[in-house]
Structure 1
């Protein structure tokens, strides 16, 4: 979760390999198993937006709960079932200030124009099922 004082500027994601030099002392390296060696898809155990559970415990087909993390995009891709729940919750929180279609949601105005306290209320949590 980020807010006005913690804006991710000291965070980074490294795709591919890793080395001890790139890991800051006192931080933790987390490794996640992808669904296949040729994909960045991660299997989500639970996905929630604030307290609204977007997924149930994984029990269906793997691709139904796969979260795609692609280095060329600024956002994760989620399955339709999760996205529909995500969209519903986002619209409940921000009503006409958010535009959603069948594949994405965006704020109507620039983020700087939104109330910072409202933005702090957005807590998207993705728990990856298969962690090493």
Structure 2
């Protein structure tokens, strides 16, 4: 099944479930924006996926525990009209910083307002 002209954002993309999700989405026809703090692993994954799937893969090095990084990620999502899926697999979500969750949800809401089927998949450890 191919999903042309759609882009998925995957945070926590450089290990474990993030790699599996990125691979699955690329094989389903999504272009990707991969986000993680580990630039070396992101680049290796992007090279592998581009070679095997011929999909466009952009890497974005960011520490998703940093509010400034989250704001930049949300801005990217809001500005890129091709994004239709956000998979948030970052290592931990600090429940004490409610703003982080609100920003990610707002980004998903912005996707939906474009007339797209916005989807937000969240699979992080919650820290209280």
**TM-score bucket (shorter structure):** under 0.3
Instruction: Give the alignment's TM-score, normalised by structure 2.
Output: 0.26
Structure ID, larger Rg: 1
Q: Compare relative contact order (CA 8 Å, sep 6+) and give the higher one, 1 or 2.
A: 1
Higher helix share: 2
Higher strand share: 2
